[in-house]
Amino acid sequence: MDPIVTCRGLSKTFGKGELAVHALRDIDLDIMPGEIATLAGPSGSGKTTLLNMIGALDEPTSGEVTVDGQPLGGLSRSQLSDLRLSKIGFVFQSYNLIPVLSARENIEFVLQLQGVSAAERHDRAMEAIKEVGLSGLEDRRPGKMSGGQQQRVAVARALVSRPAVVLADEPTANLDSKNALALVELMRSLNREHGTTFLIGTHDVRVLEQSMRHIEMLDGRIDRDARGSA
């Protein structure tokens, strides 16, 4: 089986000369389809930078990233947008929902960008809402939802386009224990039912305990890469 994400010799340096910060140093990494992998490590270890590189949000200083067989190097801004739209789902720490859209509309938005028909958008969004346990709340705007509910909408939005990989950066950081556990359980069940691949940057022990693979980062390098039994 081919990896869904491949990083080869990936480095990222911010700044120049004496002020240069080496955020990533020569990273080699494969993420396999259906994995729930966690990126752990102290602040500044390079978790977010690595997620940004894989998510085509930032360009590496050197090295190559391949997502679902597509090398990112040399793609135009527009092509990178298409790649993010079709192959990558994002879940952010602060939910990042569009405040003027309802839960359903937020989920549908990605499908609209993909040019999916209105009827299919509606059906798929409602199905995603059901899957994340928010039935009945589909017409609520983010401002009228709890943090946990908003993060569930974000997960539904990330999954509704059936991406190759979902990148989640500190998804539980703003949630209380109950909601954090519920979210982790949700991601686990989605992984089990749909084989969705998750790469999660986190400090949260509850998330780390549920992951199949722990990738420990330190000073821009992969310090440890271990597969668990969860």
Residues that bind other proteins (CB under 8 A): 48, 52, 55, 57-58, 77-78, 81-86, 90, 92-94, 96, 98-101, 109-110, 112-115, 118, 157, 169
CB of 41 to other proteins, least distance (A): 14
Cβ proximity to other proteins, 141 vs 188, nearer residue:
141
Cβ proximity to other proteins, 57 vs 126, nearer residue:
57
Cβ proximity to other proteins, 70 vs 96, nearer residue:
96
Whether residue 60 contacts residue 9, with contact meaning beta carbons closer than 8 Å, is answered with: no
CB of 160 to other proteins, least distance (A): 11
Cβ proximity to other proteins, 84 vs 152, nearer residue:
84
Whether residue 168 contacts residue 201, with contact meaning beta carbons closer than 8 Å, is answered with: yes
Q: 54-83 b/e with 16+ CB inside 10 Å = b?
A: bbbeeebeebebbbbeeebeeeeeeeeebb
CB of 155 to other proteins, least distance (A): 14
CB of 108 to other proteins, least distance (A): 9
Sequence length of the chain is: 230
Whether residue 79 contacts residue 70, with contact meaning beta carbons closer than 8 Å, is answered with: no
CB of 57 to other proteins, least distance (A): 4
Cβ proximity to other proteins, 101 vs 126, nearer residue:
101
Give the closest residue to 171 by CA, choosing from 145, 205, 200, 142: 200
Name the phi and psi angles at 76, rounded to 5.
Answer: -75, 170
CB of 110 to other proteins, least distance (A): 6
Which alpha helices (H) appear in the chain, and where do they start and end? Answer: 47-54, 77-87, 103-114, 118-131, 147-160, 177-194, 205-210
Name the phi and psi angles at 141, rounded to 5.
Answer: -85, 160
Cβ proximity to other proteins, 30 vs 105, nearer residue:
105
Whether residue 155 contacts residue 182, with contact meaning beta carbons closer than 8 Å, is answered with: no
